[in-house]
Amino acid sequence: MIESREQALAADAADPLAFARQRFALPDGVVYLDGNSLGALPVGVPAAVADTVTREWGTNLIGSWNGNGWWSLPTRVGDRIGALVGAAPGQVLCGDSTSVQLFQALAGLVRLTPGRSRLITDEANFPTDQYLAASVARLLGLDLVRVSPPDLPGVLDERAAVVAFSAVDYRTGELWDAPGITAAAHDAGALVLWDLCHAAGAVPFDLDGIGADAAVGCSYKYLCGGPGAPAWIYLAARHHAALDLPLTGWQGHAEPFALQPRYAPAAGIERARIGTPPILAMRALDAALDAFDGVSPADLRGKSLALTELVLEFAATHLPDVVPATPGDPRRRGSQVSLRMPGAYQVTQALIARGVVGDFRAPDMLRLGFAPLYVRHVDAWDAMVALREVLASGEWRDPRFARAAGSPVT
């Protein structure tokens, strides 16, 4: 247990991931704990993007599709992400948005389960996941069933087609039992889609090992690919030959440059390609992934749990009016801590004014995300000391921290 700033500094000195912090451009005077919304900038990204713009685009022009590897970026970047989420090569493709990838995966899996009528999702899932599940259900004539993951057994029967959950609850940071849920769904004859937006890059995952059928994830959170970075899709190799994906763009064709009038899907994960990928964003993401080179998944998870444990222990010891929404059990915890408190929005703004950047989730949660590659133990300690001071002094009650009518909540 860390009980002082000196002990936090000692933990940083012994941190096996301490070398990784220098791989990020972090502003002075800021404790950045919002990497579960937008990751920090890796130092190699600006030069990589500049080279893509000035040399590859500016000089090599269209020749860069082959000469500089633009065409193969979706699969090469996909395999790099796959290595972080337990997917063997040839099963992850990068490109398009999380919403597009969710639609592709949901509809594709439903089509693999003919005669079944239920699409199951979490009633507290991220809104986009719920909206798209509802849309796919309407389009394909399914019943949409919303349940919390612990209640899944009650709706698993011969009607269940696809179960679509997030691995980590985006509000509370609770980590669900992905192996157990996947096995239960398969025992009932259903297929499983995992949303790893709040896991990839901070919580090691084993998609192949648990037998997942599909997964999606964004790359601008813990993967640090930048705002609007392309998302990715995992489709288990055993399904490739039978998958009938709904969005059949020209790049997913077996012979894309033959420009045939009828669609024939490419082999393997290439069939998940749709249209022209965002090359500049993909190059940024590719460079960002260099920050994970030489990083042990065990060290990543160990650091994440140590940081979140520090916060939970501090809250329990020093903040009597704060109630954690995040489980104390490390087996059930992602890489964030959500704390319930009165005036949570104003408290969040007061912390930001002090240089401690977290975010707010309605109605009453301060959410702190811990990216293990660049957040230090001393950062977590200083953030909690600042929170204690903000609450004790009452400075959060200052009118300047109140939410203006109609303003977005960030």
Domains of the chain and CATH, by start: 5-43+295-401 (3.90.1150.10), 71-292 (3.40.640.10)
Structure tokens at 219: 């790359």
195 is an active site residue: yes
Predicted pLDDT at 30: 98
165 pairs with which residues across the strands? Answer: 194
Catalytic residue, candidates 367, 374, 376, 379 = 367
Query: What are the angstrom distances between the C-alpha of 252 and each of 54, 108, 268, 271?
Result: 29, 14, 10, 4
Q: 220: which residues sit within 8 A by CB, 6+ positions away? A: 38, 39, 226, 227, 228, 229
Catalytic residue, candidates 79, 122, 129, 195 = 195
Predicted pLDDT at 403: 77
Numbers of helices and strands, H then E, in the chain: 12, 15
Distance, CA of 394 to CA of 89 (rounded, Å): 53
Catalytic residue, candidates 23, 80, 118, 221 = 221
Catalytic residue, candidates 12, 126, 299, 364 = 126
The closest of 380, 368, 317 to 339, measured between CA atoms, is 368
Catalytic residue, candidates 24, 165, 170, 220 = 220
Q: With 70 as the cut, is the pLDDT of residue 410 above it?
A: no
Distance, CA of 234 to CA of 79 (rounded, Å): 10
Predicted pLDDT at 405: 46
Burial 111-122 (b: 16+ CB within 10 A, else e): bbbeebbbbbbb
pLDDT tens digits along 172-183: 999 999 999 999
Predicted pLDDT at 125: 94
Query: How many other β-carbons are positioned within 10 Å of the β-carbon of residue 259?
Result: 8
Distance, CA of 254 to CA of 81 (rounded, Å): 24
Residues above pLDDT 70, as percent of the chain: 98
Cβ distance 222 to 202 under 8 Å?
yes
Q: With 80 as the cut, is the pLDDT of residue 407 above it?
A: no
Distance, CA of 410 to CA of 403 (rounded, Å): 10
Q: What is the pTM (predicted TM-score) of this model?
A: 0.96
Query: How many other β-carbons are positioned within 10 Å of the β-carbon of residue 171?
Result: 17
126 is an active site residue: yes
Distance, CA of 174 to CA of 187 (rounded, Å): 24
> How large is the average pLDDT for residues 11-26?
98
Local confidence band at 278 (pLDDT 50, 70, 90 cut-offs)? very high
111 is an active site residue: no
Distance, CA of 243 to CA of 214 (rounded, Å): 11
pLDDT tens digits along 300-341: 999 999 999 999 999 999 999 999 999 999 999 999 999 999
Query: How many other β-carbons are positioned within 10 Å of the β-carbon of residue 346?
Result: 21
Distance, CA of 247 to CA of 257 (rounded, Å): 18
Find the helix packing angle between 377-393 and 5-13, rounded to 10°. 160
DSSP reduced 3-state for 132: helix
> How large is the average pLDDT for residues 269-280?
97
Find the helix packing angle between 279-288 and 73-84, rounded to 10°. 30
333 pairs with which residues across the strands? Answer: 174
pLDDT tens digits along 343-388: 999 999 999 999 999 999 999 999 999 999 999 999 999 999 999 9
pLDDT tens digits along 161-175: 999 999 999 999 999
pLDDT tens digits along 228-252: 999 999 999 999 999 999 999 999 9
